[in-house]
Structure formats: C-alpha cells, structure tokens
Amino acid sequence: MIESRKLLYARRLQLRRGFTLFEIVVELSIIVVLATMGIVGYEASVPPGAANAARNEIHSMLRFARQQAIV
C-alpha cells in the first residue's frame, strides 16, 4: 500500500511539467523589485546633466550628417 502511494506520487511528479501561475507571479514580482532597485541605483550614479549632454551631442552629429549629405 505504501509502495503504491510512493509510485503514484512519483508518477504525478513526472507528469507535472512547467510552472504554476503562482510561481510565475512570484518570480515576476521578484524581478520587478530587483529591476527597480537597479534603476534607482543607476539614476543616482549618473550625473544630472549627462543625459542632456548625450542627447545634444547626438542631435548635433545628426545635423552635421544631414548637412554633409546635402552638400
């Protein structure tokens, strides 16, 4: 009787594949929390004007390329 229960339990484990909805929700929530912490840490390490300076530099390079293409 006990052996048949063990076999039945082992068979159920073999048939179970994939993840449950609860497992997926827990994993996604952990990923979101870690990503949020990483983004906040990254924003704190970047100087405030760095993004604007990079954007302005890209814009000026595009203007220069457009000017060269016209000439």
- The string of pLDDT tens digits covering residues 49-65 is 888 898 999 999 999 99
The confidence band for 13, taking pLDDT boundaries of 50, 70 and 90, is low
Using CA atoms in the order 61, 63, 64, 69, what is the torsion angle rounded to 10 degrees?
A: 120
Q: Is 9 helix (H, G, I), strand (E, B) or coil?
A: helix
**Main-chain dihedrals φ then ψ at residue 18, nearest 5 degrees:** 85, -165
Q: Is the pTM of this model over 0.75?
A: no
> pLDDT higher for 15 or 35?
35
Q: What end-to-end distance do the CA atoms of the chain give, in Å?
A: 89
Question: What is the count of structural domains for the chain?
Answer: 1
| Domain coverage including residue 48 | 2-70
